[in-house]
Amino acid sequence: MTMSLSAELWPDVQPETARRLMLAGVESFARRGYHATTTRDIASAAGMSPAALYVHFPSKAALLFAISKYGHEQTLSLVESVVARETDPVERIRLLVEDFVAWHARRHTVARVVQYELHALPDEEFEIVAKLRRRIEQVVREVITEGAATGVFTVGDPHTAARAVLSLGVDVSRWYSERTRQTPKKLGQEYSELVLRMLGTKLS
């Protein structure tokens, strides 16, 4: 049994129809931008009627919100899971950057919509996503602050450092394409080395 791309992207979303609409939304938004896409475009890309779309998402904004929320939940869960299974700050940052960068490379089309169409969200939905973003940044900042306290990292301002670390990962989704020679995993490893140096770690 093969898994559909939409099931791979959003394993927790049910039913498959909702996932198919999210995939059609990602593809339409990535191609023409959020504002130029109509719910009719999305329904048609998913092979459905606009009425069928409204069963799952009451509006175009609700669909963008679902895509954006799940994307942020996935990246938050990825950084939290690294912190949960690793205690050494150096290994935490290494694995965290590897996973975060690889996610933005492997899921570059989804990531672009998640990262660049954020400001199209209505205020209330934006605030929910902004909260997830602050949490992601906080986890990274805490790992850096902890490493600085024990002397394995040397950083001026952990706030700037955390932002730069995440920035490197996010920007991968802007330029990564199917033609990029590095695999997502390899790129994540290379960026991990760069980030560890940026944090003043002596590499073994």
Choose which of 63, 161, 188, 192 interacts with a copy of itself (CB under 8 A).
Answer: 161
Examine residue 167 and tell whether it contacts a copy of itself (CB under 8 A).
Answer: yes
d(CA 68, CA 59): 14
Token pair belonging to 112? 């672009």
Q: Is 134 in the site for a copy of itself (CB under 8 A)?
A: no
**Which amino acid belongs to residue 74?**
Q
Interaxial angle between packed helices 89-106 and 60-85, expressed in degrees from 0 to 180 and rounded to the nearest 10: 150
Quick check: 150 binds a copy of itself (CB under 8 A)? no
Distance, in Å, from the CA atom of 175 to the CA atom of 80, rounded to the nearest integer, reads: 26
The mark string for 16-55 relative to a copy of itself (x by CB under 8 A, - otherwise) is ----------------xxxxx-------------------
- 50: preceding bond cis by omega (within 30 degrees): no
Among positions 69, 106, 135, 163, the unique one binding a copy of itself when judged by CB under 8 A: 163
DSSP-derived letter for residue 118 is G
Question: Site for a copy of itself (CB under 8 A): which residue of 115, 136, 139, 143?
Answer: 115
Confirm or reject binding of residue 100 to a copy of itself (CB under 8 A): no
- For a copy of itself, which is the closer residue by CB, 81 or 182? 182
Identify whether the C-beta of residue 12 lies closer than 8 Å to the C-beta of residue 37: no
Could you tell me the two tokens for 189? Answer: 């490893």
CB of 51 to a copy of itself, least distance (A): 24
Q: Which of 168, 141, 169, 170 is nearest to 157 (CA)?
A: 141
Closer CB to a copy of itself, 13 or 196, in the complex: 196
Among 67, 172, 184, 188, binds a copy of itself (CB under 8 A): 172
CB distance 39 to 56 below 8 Å: no
The footprint of a copy of itself (CB under 8 A) covers: 32-36, 115-116, 156-157, 160-161, 163-164, 167-168, 170-172, 174-175, 182, 187, 190-191, 193-195, 197-200
